[in-house]
Amino acid sequence: MSSDTAKLEIFDTTLRDGSQSEDVLFSARDKLNIAQKLDDFGIDFIEGGWPGANPKDVEFFEKARKIQFKNSMLTAFGSTRRAGFTVEKDPTLQALIKAETRAITIFGKTWDLHVTKALGITLSENLELIYDSVRYLKRFVDVVVYDAEHFFDGYRANPEYALQTLKAAAEGDADCLTLCDTNGGRLVADVTEITKKAVEIGKPVGIHCHNDSGLAVANTLAAVDAGAVHIQGTINGIGERCGNADLVTVLPNLALKMDRRFKSADSLSQLTRLSRYVDEMLNRLPRKNQPFVGLSAFAHKGGIHVSAVRKDSKTYEHVSPGSVGNRQRVLVSEQSGKSNLIYKCEEIGMKDVDPSDPRLQTLLKQIKRLEHEGYQFDGAEASFELRARRALGQVPEYFQLQGFRVLDQRRILEDGITRVLESEGTVKVRVGSQLEHNAAEGNGPLNALDTALRKALTRFYPQLHGMKLIDFKVRILSRGGTGSVVRVLIESRDDKGRRWGTVGVSENIIAASYEALVDAVNFKLFKDGVQAPQHVKS
């Protein structure tokens, strides 16, 4: 534990406290992978779990022993000894030692209500549990972090006793006294005032906040201002109930706004990548509006905003997007002005667009009309690029749509059990002078149309063999029952690693899907530099 109070230490508990979040289920391999990413990022402490609590954590610590961490100190988590057990016989403490980590974190009771009601022991007995446990564990590891559970609530109920519990851990030679807002209900003023009292004990003080009042990040930063030097939290704020302090928000605020020093501050340009990696391991979509790293964090939609950021990004951005590994985005919508269009054109490589070109004004009117009809180009920027380039005459006509048809059939056996649901799609397209009329079966109407369209086109454009649809979303735009207007977003990927989104809108979900699919195919051909056929032989 550093004695330099100007330098902070970052303690990540994603793998322990974060795993208690609803719908979060890490495998031992997931935890090992995330631990290595945290180590690469430069996190000081990685809390791996509770040894002996479940087979997964046992496996994790066994395999983690074989990993040489470059930057991080792996930490095992547990509780103080139980009343009636000596430290040598307590199973929790022995499991912590067997984990063979260089650091151990234990929590103890600091709220007198928990001591007398939950543990059923006297206040003085609880102080002995804390002191004995810390002193004993310190013989086996380099660092012992003491987590003062419910400290802020305990202080409000009985400030003298809450401080006594910290002093008991300090006397046992704890390296850090971490103040926990376990219920997540304290306000910033409380955290500031009480943290200052704990700092007076003379040991390094840490902070561990939950987000039940939506203040975990604010309370964490307030504790640092009050003297805390050890910061606990999780990646993306995952954790029990409403989650923990989000280190993805805490760290850039500490480094970029408060000018605080810590090891992983040098890796902030990798923060967005780390955040999205953890979300990927959780099999969930990243939050678009997450501060600093969200897809929308530096996205600009209003025409006035875009005009300003093109002149100086500081006009509407509180930090540089690149400082946290993110990027500036300009959205095109019915709120757009010509500045948005010019910015987007430049972003997609159309560098020589003349702002006075009258075709830009026509394109802007088209985009606004489409957005009014329900189109959305956030997440479907390939559809926007096609429209922009077509408006300026830069996209060849690869094929002409003549029509499509879909037949769905459900066959039911005599016993009444549904056995087969079949779809057949038929498309008619013209490629150059050649008319193609093809049919194909699929496991659904879109799959059938996709297969039929590829069947019609791959003879002319073999590049389409390397393209596939990877995501499909439908959003109802009007409340018209089964006749509602729907918006379909399709995400595609090709064998070159490119990913792109396209959009279609219609009262007919099949028509909307087909429109997005056709855009996806056209975009693939354009990006591959394919030339439109002049004449095709049969």
pLDDT given at position 370: 87
332 and 436 share one domain = no
Q: Tell me the C-alpha distance between 59 and 57, whole Å.
A: 5
Q: Identify whether 210 is part of a domain.
A: yes
pLDDT given at position 285: 76
Which residue among 369, 389, 417 closes a domain? Answer: 369
- Look up residue 286 and give its amino acid: P
- 315-342: b or e for each residue (b if 16 or more CB lie within 10 Å)? eebebebeebbbebbbbbbeebebbbbb
Domain carrying residue 336? 299-369
Q: Identify whether 478 is part of a domain.
A: no
240 and 321 share one domain = no
- By three-state DSSP, how is residue 149 classified? strand
pLDDT given at position 283: 78
Q: Tell me the C-alpha distance between 305 and 307, whole Å.
A: 5
List, in sequence order, every residue forming a beta bridge with 104; answer none if it has no partner.
76, 144
pLDDT given at position 462: 93
Statement: the pTM of the whole predicted model exceeds 0.75: no
Q: Identify whether 520 is part of a domain.
A: no
Q: Residue 415's domain is classified under what CATH number?
A: 3.30.160
191 and 256 share one domain = yes
pLDDT given at position 414: 62
277 and 304 share one domain = no
238 and 356 share one domain = no
233 and 335 share one domain = no
Which residue among 445, 460, 475 closes a domain? Answer: 460
Q: Identify whether 391 is part of a domain.
A: no
166 and 74 share one domain = yes
74 and 210 share one domain = yes
Beta strands in 350-458 (DSSP E): 400-412, 418-431, 434-442
pLDDT given at position 351: 76
pLDDT given at position 132: 97
Q: Identify whether 393 is part of a domain.
A: no
List, in sequence order, every residue forming a beta bridge with 424; answer none if it has no partner.
407, 441
Name residues of the chain where pLDDT drops below 70: 1-6, 303, 331-337, 378, 411-420, 478-482, 534-538
Q: How many domains does the chain have?
A: 3
Q: Identify whether 167 is part of a domain.
A: yes
Q: Identify whether 521 is part of a domain.
A: no
Which residue among 325, 351, 369 closes a domain? Answer: 369
Q: Which strand (E) or helix (H) includes residue 499?
A: strand 499-506
Per residue in 295-313, pLDDT (tens digit) is: 889 988 776 777 788 788 8
Q: Identify whether 535 is part of a domain.
A: no
pLDDT given at position 1: 44
